[in-house]
Amino acid sequence: MTVIEIGHEEARSWTERWLGAGHAVSAAVLADAPFGEGRFHTCVADDVPPERLARFEEGDVAGTKEAREWLARILDGLAAAGAGCLIVEDDLTSSTHLALHHDDIPSAFIGDRVVAWSGLSPGNGAAAVEAVMYVGSGYPRNAFVVGRSPEQLGLADRRQAPEQFPGEVAKSLLAVIVAIFDAETYLVWERS
């Protein structure tokens, strides 16, 4: 696998497109407009033709296993630098969804919408990736890495998130993760 930097304007546009399809946390992050700084990167197979890399919606650029391993390393690095939590907007589940009440991934509600989370610490990046994959039904639509713990954000399992929660995520944002290349891998924005 090769890690590549993605052109800032193109990657920003793609990320904002995904966030525009999200809900409360995505809207708060978009309103904060953090993408003027930082870097966008992804991982692809070593033999991908350059013309494929120009079309984010097309696939066949990465192996799922390798992409998950790469994202786990990113999360481990962010945790070592002080990240405390990975938050994922669930675009498919509502707060009344029956299966939600049997899941072992912590989740909270913003109205009828669901956000799930995984605490971050160095070495648990792979477990956090599995939480992302589960919640995102195979890939994350919108995931956010923040410098605060779930407790500091006021999250409690199967409870309404505090009213200020989306804004607090935007204020402590360290990275945004969205799907790219037909959801085979991830586009990661990291704050400078």
Sheet with 39-44: list strands edge to edge. 2-5, 39-44, 185-190, 173-180, 142-146, 85-94, 113-119, 107-110
Taking only the tens place, the pLDDT of each residue in 68-79 is: 999 999 999 999
Q: Please report the pLDDT score of residue 60 as a whole number.
A: 86
C-alpha 34, offset from chain centre: 15
The answer to whether 176 and 188 have CB atoms below 8 angstroms apart is yes
Q: Please report the pLDDT score of residue 4 as a whole number.
A: 93
pLDDT at 97 exceeding the cut of 90: no
Calpha distance 129→143 (Å, rounded): 10
Q: Which residue has the tokens 């969804």?
A: 97
The model's confidence at residue 37, banded by pLDDT at 50, 70 and 90, is very high
Q: pLDDT over 90 for what percent of the chain?
A: 64
Q: pLDDT over 70 for what percent of the chain?
A: 89
What is the helix (H) or strand (E) element at residue 187, kind and residue range? strand 185-190
- Of the CA atoms within 13 Å of residue 104, those in its CB half-sphere come to 3
pLDDT at 98 exceeding the cut of 70: no
What does pLDDT average to over the chain? 89
Q: Please report the pLDDT score of residue 53 as a whole number.
A: 86
The alpha carbon dihedral of 105, 115, 4, 50 has a sign of: positive
- What residues contact residue 53 under an 8 Å CB cut-off, 6+ apart? 4, 44, 61
| 22 secondary structure, DSSP code | S
